Structure 1
Amino acid sequence: MALGYKTRKRLSLLILIFGLPAYIAAGWWLMSLFERPSIWVEFAIYVGLGILWALPFKAVFKGVGQADNNGDKDGKH
């Protein structure tokens, strides 16, 4: 099922406003459960988590910043 432009735009805003801060807090909390690793290991973990969160949402974010090709020409909805 393909999501429409408006749906993807709204869903991407919800993910960025609520999902990303919750993901950051969960990662921060998870890291606090263990003894602090070296700075390079910690950096690698945070970079990996930063990339990992976006992979499932790639289809949602794709093309959201561009004008709607299937809708109005002026970009208003």
Structure 2
Amino acid sequence: MALSYKARKRVAILVLVVGLPVYVVVAVNLVALFDRPSILVELAIYVGLGIVWILPFKSVFKGIGQADPDEKPEQDK
């Protein structure tokens, strides 16, 4: 099932405004469960978690910055 451009744009905004902050809180609490590792290990964990969260949403974000392909072009008069 392919989402329309407008639906993908709305889902992308929802993911960024609601999902990303929730994911950040979960990631920080997950790392806080263990003793604090060295700064390089902690950085690697956060970079890895930062990459992992976007993988399921790759198709949603692809092409969002482009013009709407379904929109009819306006002709100059």
**TM score, norm. by length of structure 1:** 0.92
How far did 1:6 drift?
A: 0.3
Aligned to 1:60: 60
Q: Counterparts of 1:72 and 1:46 in 2: how far apart (Å)?
A: 42
Which secondary structure does the structure 1 equivalent of 2:49 belong to?
helix
Which secondary structure does the structure 2 equivalent of 1:68 belong to?
coil
Q: Does 1:38 align with 2:29?
A: no
Report the AA paired with residue 72 of structure 1.
Answer: K
How far did 1:73 drift?
A: 2.4
Deviations 1:15-59 (A, max 9, x none): 000000000000001111110001111010000001011100000
Aligned to 2:27: 27
Q: Counterparts of 1:42 and 1:73 in 2: how far apart (Å)?
A: 49
Report the AA paired with residue 56 of structure 2.
Answer: P
Structure number with greater CO (CA < 8 Å, separation at least 6) is 2
Amino-acid identity (%): 59
5+ unaligned residues in a row in structure 2: which ranges? none
Which has the larger Rg? 2
5+ unaligned residues in a row in structure 1: which ranges? none
